[in-house]
Amino acid sequence: MARVVICGVARTPIGKFRGSLSNLSAVELGIRSVKELLNRCNIDASSGIIDEVLFGQVLQAGAGQAPARQVALGAGLPNTIAATTINKVCGSSLKAVMMAANSIKAGEYKAIIAGGMESMTNAPKFEKRNGGEKEMVPTMVHDGLWDVYNDVHMGNTGEIVANECKIS
């Protein structure tokens, strides 16, 4: 089994809703972080060293098809590279890292860029297609912050879990 190591890291600053990064899409933020990672690791994007890009993104509406692939190509990686976008709500980026580690352990790939991207500010609103009210629904809440299993805002789930587990 191959040994897995993290060779470099790069990230964007933690943004604020409608803050200074709001003019950048999630994909643009992802591209910037991958370019910086390649720079820090002294890797030429076109060298073929990187085998795959795995990126988590929850709020994909409006991002266009295959956001992880957009990031890979936008960062200058070759169009032959494998790229997958993962949506596992809050755990999307961590799942990307776990999948990368498993692919390396299995001998499938040797070098993978794994991470995540998000822009809550740029998450669009949508209108339900069939009938009913013509209410605009924010995807930030609908797809990212609403617990569909308990029908509550995710901000409330910490309180619920704390009460159920009797922790404070």
Cα 149 versus chain centre, distance: 22
Residue whose C-alpha is closest to residue 59's, from 145, 156, 155, 158 = 145
**Domains defined for the chain, CATH in brackets:** 26-122 (3.40.47.10), 127-165 (no CATH)
pLDDT tens track, the chain, 168 positions: 889 999 999 998 888 899 999 999 999 999 999 999 999 999 999 999 999 999 999 999 999 999 999 999 999 999 999 999 999 998 999 999 999 999 999 999 999 999 999 999 999 999 887 777 788 999 999 999 999 988 999 889 888 889 999 998
**Distance from C-alpha of 10 to C-alpha of 8, rounded to nearest angstrom:** 7
Cα 12 versus chain centre, distance: 12
Res 155: pLDDT: 85
156, 141 contact by CB (below 8 A): no
